[in-house]
Amino acid sequence: MRRRMMAVLLSMTLVFGATGCGSRTTKVSLGKDSEITEEKNTKKEEKTDKETEKEEKEKKETGKSESEEKETKDEQLGKDTQIDENHLIARVNYYDSDGLLLYYETFTYFDDGLMCSSTMHSINYYSDNLSYPDNEYSMIYQYDENGEMTLCMLDALSGSGMYDADTGKVVMGYEYDDEGNSTEIFIYPYEETIEEERFGVDPSKTEILTGGARVFNTTQCKEWAGTYLDMMGKVEAADEVTDMTVCRLMYINDDDIPELWIDYGYGYAGAEVCTVNGDEVDEVWFNHGYAYYVERENSIYICQGHMGDYADDIYEINNGKYCHVAGGTYVESEERNWDEAPVLIYHWNDKEVTEQEYEESLKKAFDDSREFDSDEDVLTFEQCLNLMEYLESR
């Protein structure tokens, strides 16, 4: 394991290089700003006694202490070294030789430009017109105060037994021969990349997309991360976490405090989308469903249902609480001919409507053409818990 971690640490220093963690990453360089900082530091060392006396006099006149002076300089340095989000890698697409998308990897970052997490996805094709993505594995990264990586935490998103922590092996699926015998499809992400022939990937067609990556504002993360950490601790203590539980951080409104979607992995186990206000947590529960949202526009749509009873609800966040904006239900009529398709009865905002009126009302309440891809950035519960601990300690 130590050898693999050393490979990760060394490879993370490359710009747009394939890392030992099986992903492509960038390391933001301060460039001219760092040279300017070094020049300023050199000049600072060459100050004359007269200049020092002048600074002391100015400090007395302004009444600023040394700590206040340091805060002012730190703030200015932050302005000088702001990252250009348009140059951060948001996604890498991996294709076969015919140009068919097989895998894609998505990335999130901290606001200092260092990578926060990466998630590998695969595409399942059932027909020419039917496909859907699946989440394979994810990694989170932590750093010391000098920006040196101290942790690369890998975990599988496909259920129990799919990741071997001792070897770093991730089982991504199975291939079957004509007799029904299965063979594992696996990867060692610490050492290998998905750009291998055995995964059907043609490296010459790999596509790197920059701009639009998720960047976490860590300015006030200590408070909200601590609140989520307490809440997740209670969830864990109540033994509510399953082997399929995953988490997503999402920006529903525009307050730079992410909402937390905990999906317990099974329909009956349900899910909750949480928001924090200080040390208080508010949540919306649902089961056998999914959540969609338009990022930073304060609109989240939750659809759920099972065995003939379905619901669609739209919420917004006001003063740290979820407020129901609109919603409807459609249920199977109890009077039905079992030889025919079930008859559905539609209600929108407690008023009976036709199916067409229902669809029009739903579309008006939530613009699904602009929804954010909730499956881009997915972590296991343990990874998310670890991330909250890291942010709470910053």
Q: What angle do CA 112, 80, 89 make, to 5 degrees?
A: 40
Q: Which long-range contacts (CB under 8 A, 24 or more apart) does 1-6 make?
A: 1/166, 1/168, 4/168, 4/190, 4/191, 5/152, 5/190
Q: Hey, what are 308's tokens?
A: 């003939």
pLDDT for res 375? 76
On the question of pLDDT at 13 being above 70, the answer is no
pLDDT digits (tens, 9 = 90+) for 120-164: 999 999 888 889 889 999 999 999 999 999 999 999 997 666 899
Least confident of 8-17, 48-57, 68-77, 196-205: 8-17
pLDDT digits (tens, 9 = 90+) for 76-114: 434 444 678 899 999 999 999 999 999 999 999 999 999
On the question of pLDDT at 264 being above 80, the answer is yes
On the question of pLDDT at 174 being above 60, the answer is yes
Average pLDDT rounded to a whole number, residues 188-213: 95
On the question of pLDDT at 59 being above 60, the answer is no
Half-sphere exposure of 25 (CA within 13 A, CB side): 30
Q: DSSP alpha helices (H): ranges in 13-65?
A: 32-45, 49-62
What are the beta bridge partners of residue 110? 216
- 180's CB contacts (< 8 A; 6+ apart) are none
